[in-house]
């Protein structure tokens, strides 16, 4: 049950697997930590950009996808996916290069071990900091200056369909449920149930 008392229904979605060489195909699969779909690097990037176009312009029409490619945060999204794929392939030096490129040009620090499923969107990338051990599902959207960090070696786990407003901070080994909204500048230190909104310092749950 979510916090509004409605029964949750699991949605099964099929995702297109991008063809690649036999050497790298197995490593590029299973990048979606939720296990609901298996997508390759190109498929993940495509899902991210389409999701951003839908968020910004209301649809994923080709013209909107093209515009989304040139918006703030998209470069950081590309660098994250390249880093994630390199890390998966155990190409650690290459992953470090993408990490540093993201920090310098994208103004965004995402740890090499951070895992997010399809439709990961950085609406604005400036000031975003994500710990390497953070795990998230699909359709996660972040505004600028968001921090998702560890406390005592424990990091947050995020569900699907999560929006995190500008300046919000999520700290420690807590769980953010699915269909959750985190308000701007909120400081979240406790679990947030499915279908809820968290606002304030420290964050309180709005049902």
Nearest to 51 by CA among 33, 86, 79, 77: 77
DSSP state of 186: -
Q: What is the largest CA-CA distance in the chain?
A: 50
Using the predicted structure, report yes or no on whether residue 47 has a pLDDT greater than 70.
yes
Q: How far is CA 192 from CA 61, 126, 183, in A?
A: 34, 25, 12
Structure tokens at 90: 């155990």
What are the tens digits of pLDDT across the range 130-173?
999 999 999 999 999 999 999 988 999 999 999 999 999 999 99
Using CB atoms within 10 Å of the CB of residue 10, give its burial: 0 to 12 exposed, 13 to 18 middle, 19+ buried: exposed
Share of the chain above pLDDT 90, in %: 78
Backbone phi, then psi, for 105, in 5-degree steps? -90, -35
Structure tokens at 102: 């993201």
pTM summary value: 0.81
Using the predicted structure, report yes or no on whether residue 101 has a pLDDT greater than 70.
yes
* List of residues 6+ apart from 97 with CB closer than 8 A: none
Cα–Cα distance for residue pair 149/130, rounded to 1 Å: 6
What's the pLDDT score for residue 142? 98
Cα–Cα distance for residue pair 103/128, rounded to 1 Å: 10
Using the predicted structure, report yes or no on whether residue 93 has a pLDDT greater than 70.
yes
Structure tokens at 163: 């929006």
Domain 22-206 has CATH 3.40.50.720: no
What's the average model confidence in pLDDT over 174-184? 96
Domains of the chain, residue spans: 22-206
Nearest to 138 by CA among 159, 163, 168: 159
């Amino acid at each position: 049950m979510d916090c509004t008392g409605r029964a949750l229904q699991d949605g099964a979605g099929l995702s297109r697997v991008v063809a690649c060489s036999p050497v790298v195909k197995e490593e590029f699969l299973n990048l979606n930590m939720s296990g609901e779909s298996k997508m390759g690097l190109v498929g993940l990037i495509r899902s991210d950009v389409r999701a951003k176009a839908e968020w910004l312009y209301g649809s994923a029409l080709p013209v909107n996808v093209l515009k989304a490619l040139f918006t703030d945060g998209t470069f950081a999204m590309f660098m994250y996916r390249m880093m994630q794929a390199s890390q998966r392939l155990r190409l650690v030096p290459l992953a470090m290069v993408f990490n540093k490129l993201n920090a310098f040009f994208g103004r965004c620090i995402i740890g090499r071990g951070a895992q997010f499923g399809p439709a990961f969107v950085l609406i604005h990338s400036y000031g975003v900091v994500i710990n390497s051990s953070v795990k998230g599902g699909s359709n996660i959207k972040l505004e600028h200056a968001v921090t998702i960090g560890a406390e005592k070696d424990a990091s947050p786990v995020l569900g699907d369909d999560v929006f995190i407003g500008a300046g919000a901070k999520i700290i420690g080994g807590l769980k953010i449920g699915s269909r959750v909204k985190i308000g701007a500048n909120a400081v979240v230190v406790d679990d947030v149930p499915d279908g809820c909104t968290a606002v304030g310092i420290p964050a309180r749950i709005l049902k």
